Amino acid sequence: MGIWDSVARLLGRKKDIKQEFASIPKHIAIIPDGNGRWAKKRGLPRNVGHREGSMALKKVVIYCSEAGVKYLTVYAFSTENWKRPKSEVDALMSLLVEFLRNAEKELDGSNVKIKVIGDVKGLPEELQKEIIRVEKLTGINNGLNLNICLNYGGRLELLHAVKEIAVKVKSGNLKIDEIDERQFESCLYTSGIPEPDLLIRTSGEQRISNFLLWQCAYTEFWFINELWPDVNGSHIAEAIKAYEKRNRRFGGLEQ
């Protein structure tokens, strides 16, 4: 514990996390991987790992919110995760319902606005209802924008955008020459959300696994070995510190 923490504790005040950083990424994306391995290491069923993972998510959401991150996008269930055994998929869906149901209570006062990104229509009805409810309820908040990617796949998202563009062209509302990056982005699920500045993947895997394929064109990557249920604010702080040292050139020259 540093001196600041001790002083803050003595004064009964919370440390201002924002002061720890010179610059905070506006948008952090996370691939929270390793729930299954976390459980396996302890001889527990994979679903226990998912439950612990959902608690880690709450901690990270609160940390990012206090740090002043504006957007946090979390990969919670991919279009490929349906390949897992039905019992695991069912448990994940129930956990997601539970997470959303308790979200406003557990993230109390954090002013978080929740949005779900992905093919929502392919999700169980109970989960769809919960999504509508929580998006409406938190829609007035103006703090951290928490985007939860559910039944999300980067390729599916790109195909979805292509189809939307094709419909506009076919109906005569859009000329082929008018299709540019801005137009294309407006057809993505993430329309209106800035591109991630920093992508964090846990569990030591170093791949993108079909996440935000278009949006991560110039995102900084940070891989950590911790399994997701073991992650807390300190790991996010380390990632932000590393991000601060990066030199983003976007194809241009050093600033």
> Which residues define the annotated binding site for Mg(2+)?
33, 220
Select the residue interacting with ligand IPE from 54, 65, 78, 190 (CB under 6 A). 78
Give yes or no for residue 165 binding ligand IPE (CB under 6 A): no
Contact 33, 203 (CB under 8 A): yes
- The number of residues that bind ligand IPE (CB under 6 A) is 17
List, as residue ranges, the binding site. 33-38, 46, 50, 78-80, 82, 84, 201, 207-209, 220
* φ, ψ at 200 (rounded to 5°): -110, 130
Of residues 116 through 155, those in contact with ligand IPE by CB under 6 A are none
Single out the residue of 25, 34, 118, 196 in contact with ligand IPE (rule: CB under 6 A).
34
d(CA 34, CA 13): 34
Note whether 59 and 234 are within 8 A (CB): no
Q: Find the residue with minimal CB distance to ligand IPE.
A: 36
Those residues with Cβ within 8 angstroms of residue 150's Cβ, 6 or more apart along the chain or in another chain: 76, 77, 96, 116, 117, 118, 120, 123, 127, 131
Task: Point out the catalytic residue in the list 5, 81, 145, 210.
Answer: 81
Contacted by 77, from Mg ion, ligand IPE, none: CB < 5 to 8 Å by type? ligand IPE
Active-site annotation holds for 33:
yes
Q: Is 81 a catalytic residue?
A: yes
Residues near ligand IPE, by CB under 6 A: 31-37, 75-78, 81, 92, 203, 205, 207, 209
